[in-house]
Chains A and B, each alone.
Chain A
Amino acid sequence: MRPPETGPPTALLCGEIRTCLLPARQALDIRSAAQFLALRADERVLLSERPTLYARSPDTLTGVDCPLPAADGARVRAVGTVAAHAVLTEGRVLQTSARFRAPASGPDQRRPWGQYLIRPGTVEPLGKLPREPVARGVLDGGRQGDLDVGLIADALLTRLLRHPLLDQRPPMRSRPTRLRWAALPAPSGAGPSLERFTLAEDELRTVRLRVPEDTPADEIAGLCADLALHDWLLTTVVRTFDGIRLGTGADRDGSSVLRALGPAVDHLLHLWMPRARVTPALARLWDPLEERPGFTRQWDALVHRIRDQLALQAIGPARREVEPAP
């Protein structure tokens, strides 16, 4: 159990999650995963085997003293620490997650550093926090020099990717994604809600939430990591069809279909398990996404499509005979 959080209540929670394929030929087993994620000599890596193999590193902190991004251009200096950790799912998908919480206001002067360290993962504004503009600033991305939790998530990713356990031979090409999130307090008495999930540029997703004030930051980060993982799976599997030109006859022996789809079958198709590690109160936030656009519906369709393609390859020769000559 974490100690009871002390200090003023949280006015805003923000974070960013980077999701990528682990660059290793074989998925890491649970023991290697524990070794891989041992970021601190004195803290255990949390391991769990049900319903998926899951390993979570201890938190690491990064000290910051810089302006918060704010959509209205306000310059609010803030001081504190951003907490970051990494998660490995099924020894295959690596996520780094950086987050902070901010109270509604802080002292006008910077305090001694030791006082910030007793509230890990808290960034305090000097003065009042313009909550809404900062939430929008975080999601839209700030200016150069503003607090960018994405950089901190990325620095942790870079550190992990240098680990000697990785042979740097990923089974397939893929792109990492970024998911930025911001959670504002829900009106009193109201439960958590997902206000918006946006597919922004190619690799960027943004999530805006409302949560009851006492919701722990790691539970919200956990929900967002779950969203990020499944969004990455969809994005990556959709893209496996990119380089192959189906039904053109150009691919006479079907080897390009196998080359492209085989790794997805080997390494990704069994990872779909939304809500597996989300607290019950927050798991409901998946519902609107399942309604529209229907994450699981799209996933099921993709899985069927891949299986159909591979089945067609298996009966390939017969099929080619009935195909008209190009």
Chain B
Amino acid sequence: MTDAVFHETAAAPRTQAVPLAHLSLELGHLYMEDFEAGPGRLRRHFAEVRPWAEAARAAATARAAATARTGAQRARISTCFLVDDYFTRFSSPAEVVPMLLAEADRAGLTVDYLARESGCAVFGEVPVAEAVAGRIVESPPPSSHGIRPPAAQTGWLANGERSPAVRAPQAMKRAQVWRPPKETAARRHSVFLDTELFSDGPDGRTWSCPFLAAVWQLARLGLLRHQGEAVLSPRPHGDGGFPDDWDDLPPLLRLNPDADPFTAYRTCSVLPNRFLPVEHAVRVILDQTEVDPGALGQVAVRARGERAELPDSVADRVSYVFYAGP
């Protein structure tokens, strides 16, 4: 009814667009144990990351050049780093951030954007994690005609069918025998994964590390919206130093004023291989998350416009390099 004279704004949905780089390159996560291990740990980490980061840049540049209309197109690449302030609070931004930046610089790496993990749970007033949890659409195992309880009821998400729960049968009926779990997309044998999305305690809900990591990926892919508005938008960092309290640090900070956009068509994360199980779970979550269709459409239109190659499936836009190390 676009030809009508009468309009009501509340009745017309709209989606805010975000700028897009070709690649969002993640240079690492920092947890309390990494910090406690001292600057040597970070130094070794960045030294490991350096060659892989260069390889990822080269791959992205080659991809952009291959599809560019005329001549060599520069690949827009931004880097980011995630600090955990959600599961454990340690030290202060004033102490951690300068050290982090110094170690990255020593390895010849630039951190364009710095994010706090708690920003993936709640960003300002926006309950980001809760919203993403509400967008999970469980992959139906064969013969699902739509009456399975949604994942939100149980707080777990699997990549297939769980073993049936042992329940007291009706009187005089035989109890069911045990059946193995089954991965829905299994090739002959299952690699079944069941991941906890959150746990509820007296202080409220705690989102799991894999779940927040999935939110982090969606943020970097530019696919998060809150009522049509972009969320996890970066704030510029002024000339001043860093605050003493994590809460006073913007959840997503642009450290490099000349950086390419934070959000990108694809992501690559360079991580030590202890993150492998977490990132497997991230893939299981992303594969079952219906992202905002408006945002998805905008990214697709932009990608077509500059002939950037974009996988349909969101989980396939994410890539990793796992290096051997703690």
Q: In the complex they form, do A and B come into direct contact, defined as C-beta atoms under 8 angstroms apart?
A: yes
Q: Which of B3, B6, B13 contacts A44 (CB 8 A)?
A: B13
Determine whether B316 belongs to the interface, using a CB cutoff of 8 Å to chain A: yes
With A40-B134, A114-B286 in contact, do A145 and B296 touch (Cβ < 8 Å)?
no
A residues 116-148 in Cβ contact with B at 8 Å: 117-118, 120, 145-148
The interface bits of chain B over 290-325 (1 if a CB of A lies within 8 angstroms of the residue's CB, else 0) are 111110111011000000000011111000000000
Say whether B313 contacts A118, CB under 8 Å: yes
> Scoring A residues 47 to 84 as 1 if CB is less than 8 Å from chain B, else 0, what string do you get?
11110001000000111111000000000010101100
B287 near A112: Cβ-Cβ < 8 Å: yes
Does A3 lie within 8 Å of B293, measured CB to CB? yes
Count chain B CB atoms within 10 A of each CB in A64, A114, A118 and give the residue with the most: A114
Instruction: Determine if A164 is an interface residue (Cβ-Cβ < 8 Å).
Output: no
**Partner-binding segment picked from B35-43, B72-80, B82-90, B142-150:** B142-150
CB under 8 Å from chain B, chain A span 265-318: 279-280
What residues on A are CB-neighbors of B139 within 8 Å? 63, 113
Chain B 215-254 residues near chain A, CB threshold 8 A: 224-228
A81 to B145, CA, bound (A): 10
State in angstroms the CA–CA spacing of A61 and B314 once bound together. 17
Query: Which parts of A1-15 form the interface with B (CB within 8 Å)?
Result: 1-4, 6
A4 adjacent to B297 (CB under 8 Å)? yes
Q: Which B residues are within 8 Å of any A CB, using their own CB?
A: 1, 3, 6, 8, 10-15, 126-127, 130-132, 134-135, 137-147, 184-185, 224-228, 286-294, 296-298, 300-301, 312-316
Evaluate contact between A44 and B144: CB separation under 8 angstroms: no
Whether the Cβ atoms of B8 and A42 lie closer than 8 Å is no
Supposing A3-B300, A63-B138 touch, asked if A114 and B313 sit within 8 A by C-beta, the answer is yes
Closest to A147 in B: B145
A42 to B184 Cα, complex, angstroms:
29
Given A41-B127, A48-B11, A64-B140, A155–B314 Cβ distance below 8 Å?
no
Instruction: Provide the residues of chain B in CB contact with A323, threshold 8 Å.
Output: none
Partner of A42, one of B3, B134, B141, B185: B134
Q: With the chains together, A77 CA to B141 CA distance in Å?
A: 12
Q: How far is the CA of A40 from the CA of B144 in the complex (A)?
A: 23
Q: Which of B8, B14, B225, B314 contacts A114 (CB 8 A)?
A: B314
Task: Tell me if A246 counts as interface (CB < 8 A to partner B).
Answer: no
20 new A-B pairs (CB below 8 Å) besides A65-B143, A149-B146? A3-B297, A42-B126, A42-B134, A47-B11, A49-B8, A62-B146, A63-B140, A64-B140, A65-B141, A81-B290, A113-B185, A113-B288, A114-B315, A115-B313, A117-B137, A117-B314, A118-B296, A146-B145, A155-B146, A280-B1
Do residues A155 and B147 form an inter-chain contact, with CB atoms below 8 A?
yes
Question: Is there a chain B Cβ closer than 8 Å to A43's Cβ?
Answer: yes
* A280→B291 CA distance, assembly (Å): 31
A41, A115, A148 — which one has the most chain B CB atoms within 10 A of its CB?
Answer: A41
Which residue from A40, A114, A155 sits with its C-beta under 8 Å from B287?
A: A114
A48 (CB) vs chain B CBs: closest residue: B11
Can you report 29 A-B residue pairs in the complex whose CB atoms are below 8 A from each other? A1-B294, A2-B294, A3-B297, A3-B300, A4-B297, A41-B131, A41-B134, A42-B135, A42-B226, A43-B292, A46-B13, A63-B137, A63-B138, A65-B141, A65-B144, A79-B140, A81-B137, A113-B184, A114-B286, A114-B313, A114-B314, A117-B137, A117-B314, A118-B312, A118-B313, A147-B146, A148-B146, A155-B147, A280-B1
